[in-house]
Structure 1
Amino acid sequence: MPLLKKDDCHKELSSLDGTPKSPSKTSSSATTESVRPAPEAELTRMQTLIHLLKCNIGTGLLGLPLAIKNAGLLVGPISLLAIGVLTVHCMVILLNCAEHLSQRLHKTFVTYEEATMYSLETCPHTWLRTHAVWGRYTVSFLLIITQLGFCSVYFMFMADNLQQMVEEAHVTSNTCQLGKTLVLTPILDIRFYMLTILPFLVLLVFIQNLKVLSFFSTLANITTLGSTALIFEYIIQGIPYPSDLPLMANWKTFLLFFGTAIFTFEGVGMVLPLKNQMKHPQQFPFVLYLGMSVVISLYICLGTLGYMKFGPDTQASITLNLPNCWLYQSVKLLYSIGIFFTYALQFHVPAEIIIPFAVSQVSESWALSVDLSIRTALVCLTCVSAILIPRLDLVISLVGSVSSSALALIIPPLLEVTTFYSEDISCITIAKDIMISILGLLGCIFGTYQALYESTQPVNHAIANSTGVYA
């Protein structure tokens, strides 16, 4: 039996046909057709664009000034643009492979996991065909780890900002001028704030329909846009001439840049689900190019201007460098609200991988109880993971290096080779795909090593995950 199986009550992101498949029986798989979402659940072009923007604009955005610092004023923006272009290119590769396989197998659509398995089933290598199902399991595992990793970072980010807003309220001023840093002793443990947020997130993830979530996604985009505008409003004031800033940083810190940059492009796991949910899926490439152009431009501008503004003092989150006044405290509030609603979107992917399989193992009368129980347990798991995380910046880099790079840069090019190898794929395309995968693999290995190494080094915990207080 495959890892995933869909019941009629679960026709969301990762809709499958519910028929047991064997990796050696491609012909039988090809006769089964995936189920389209109900018409009332289909997404319009604007709703899809909103989801795409929200899936890519998360906590990683706030760490981009530090990422540029880790790469250098010249190398950073160029590398960020290159990684963005490569990521979008790999998204397009994934879309093309999924469309080709769905046509070959006469299915309405295929998911990332299915595309990997079906592609391996038809490749010329006997061993890969025999073990094709493990391609599916691997992608499913990476999607779960990546998306739950995002959710854990979101949990930490929201709790940390809630703690700051509550406990710094008595020293927050009406004058927004940067002064000396004051280190406050926390009144309540950060775990108290995580437990405060926990029940609200549990209720939020009970919403399973993406069309309903699009309303919350719109709110998230509005609050994120408002907070980002306030950040830009501050950093563009009096930017010093960057003559003293290095154009190229140390290669060790560049590895941290790679992990942060890949983490920031958070939406690769949502590409196929969003296309499969669209009312007119053929319009998705336009939505993808438009949305990702906006995202990449925003990343480069905020990262570069933020580093130019704060220079060597650039912190793990750009909110660290904002003055502690009510106006910029609202940045934390607005961004936290946006991240709160984005949590549900990122949670949707692992939920739709794990829950259908679990529900298929019980009777229909227990289906709803199992569904809600697993959702609750997964949210609690991200909460526990957040409690165990020591540093926000290193976790972002670690998640980006380990799983995000595999899903965004390593697997899609290899998928293109295995999918089109029997159809006279050009040597240039093969060479290009191998180079991209090698780049992603090297970034994964060295980025992971550097993040783990940095996590063992002493750090000033007073500012590791906090925004500080400015008088």
Structure 2
Amino acid sequence: MGTKKKMFINTPVEINIETNRLEMSEEEGRERSTTTDGDAESMNDGRALVQPPARSGDVITPTRAVLTLSKSMFNAGCFSLPYAWKLGGLWVSFVMSFVIAGLNWYGNHILVRASQHLAKKSDRSALDYGHFAKKVCDYSDIRFLRNNSKGVMYFVNVTILFYQLGMCSVAILFISDNLVNLVGDHLGGTRHQQMILMATVSLFFILLTNMFTEMRIVSFFALVSSVFFVIGAAVIMQFTIQ
């Protein structure tokens, strides 16, 4: 007897069921591959494995840092700028303001880049002005500078000390003059004696506030000073407009 071959004919219903099964199996395969790829990417991603180091210690927020820096650069002395423009002439003062600001920015840019380079070269986290001058002399080709690097460091520190003393003296004079104008009538005595008294009081508070070295406290003082500065600027602008 010959072999009988059976013929199977799929109906449209069976074809639809088989097609749905194939589509479901393909979707499951894609989901598995996506999950596997996602796991591989998360495993290979360094951010998922290594947490960024948290800063600790005397740390302030970027907002408070910008506030402190801007307060040290933008102070009550800016009100003398219009008078300086008047003495220097309109166009000369206008041009020289950009020239001086550009030279100041370029000098600070070179100073920061050089300080970072020498700090990295000497395995230091940062360098202040005195130690920066010392490192410049230590890595210099001139033997005289290498042998006298500490003397250069002391000279730079003393120079900065007198520079800060000069800035403080101007600030003390400015504060004393304003205090005499405010409460001078209630003190009595001559104006010279009132200035000496107010300068002594101002010096005491300046020394007291400069004893704090933590940036959190310094930024708080900068915030309080900025509030008074804005109030004073508003009063001066109102008086000037009137």
Q: Are the counterparts in 2 of residues 113 and 137 from structure 1 also a CA contact under 8 Å?
A: yes
Alignment of 1:340-355 (within 5 A): none
Deviations 1:333-367 (A, max 9, x none): xxxxxxxxxxxxxxxxxxxxxxxxxxxxxxxxxxx
TM-aligned CA deviation for residue 58 of structure 1: 2.6
Deviation at 1:78, TM superposition (A): 1.6
Query: How many correspondences in the alignment?
Result: 185
Q: 1:95 aligns with which of 85, 89, 112?
A: 112
Classify 1:147/1:202 alpha carbon distance in 2 versus 1 (closer, same or farther; 3 Å): closer
Q: Does 1:164 align with 2:181?
A: yes
2:213 is aligned with 1:208 = yes
Structure 1, unmatched stretches of 5+, are: 1-37, 170-184, 238-322, 324-471
Contact kept? 1:167, 1:187, Cα under 8 Å:
no
Shift of 1:225: 2.4
Which of 84, 104, 107 is the aligned partner of 2:101? 84
Which residue in 2 is equivalent to 1:455? none
Deviation of residue 110 (structure 1)? 1.2
The separation in 2 between residues aligned to 1:133 and 1:52, in whole angstroms, is: 29
Secondary structure in structure 2 of the residue aligned to 1:74:
helix
| CA deviations over 1:197-220 (Å, ceiling 9, x no partner) | 344334323323121111110111
Q: 1 or 2 for the larger relative contact order (CA 8 Å, sep ≥6)?
A: 1
1:138 equivalent in structure 2: 155
Shift of the 65–149 alpha-carbon distance from structure 1 to 2, 3 Å rule, reads: same
CA distance in structure 1 between the partners assigned to 2:130 and 2:231 by the alignment = 36
Match of 1:330 in 2: none
2:205 maps to amino acid: F
Letter in 2 for 1:115: F
| 3-state SS of 2:57 partner | helix
- Deviation of residue 146 (structure 1)? 0.8
* C-alpha distance in 1 between matches for 2:94 and 2:233: 19
Match of 2:70 in 1: 53
Please state how far the C-alpha of 1:43 moved relative to its aligned partner. Answer: 2.8
For the aligned residues, what is the CA RMSD?
2.4
Partner Cα distance (2:204, 2:112) in 1: 36
**CA distance in 2 between partners of 1:71 and 1:128 (Å):** 40
Check the 8 A contact 1:68/1:76 in 2, yes or no.
yes
1: CA distance between counterparts of 2:194 and 2:184? 11
> Offset of 1:56 from its aligned partner?
1.2
Match of 2:137 among 104, 108, 120: 120
Maintained 8 Å contact 2:116/2:126: yes
List 4+ stretches of structure 1 deviating above 4 A: none
The code of the aligned residue for 1:156 comes to L
CA distance in 1, matches of 2:102, 2:228: 27
* Pairing 1:125-274 to 2, within 5 Å after superposition: 125-167=142-184, 186=191, 188-235=193-240, 237=241
- Give the aligned partner of residue 261 of structure 1: none
Higher-Rg structure is: 2
Q: Which has the higher helix share?
A: 2
SS in 2 for 1:211: helix
Contact between 1:121 and 1:132, CA under 8 Å: does it hold in 2? yes
Question: How big is the shift at 1:187?
Answer: 8.7
* Matched AA of 2:213: Q
Instruction: Give the whole-Å Cα distance in 2 for the aligned partners of 1:55 and 1:122.
Output: 32
Q: Percent identity?
A: 23
Q: Look up the equivalent residue of 1:75 and give its one-letter code.
A: V
Say whether 1:44 aligns with 2:61: yes
The structure-2 alpha-carbon separation of the partners of 1:82 and 1:108, relative to structure 1 and needing over 3 Å to count, comes to: same
* Residues in 2 aligned to 1:129 and 1:187: alpha-carbon distance in whole angstroms: 50
CA separation in 1, counterparts of 2:211 and 2:185? 33
Shift of 1:234: 4.6
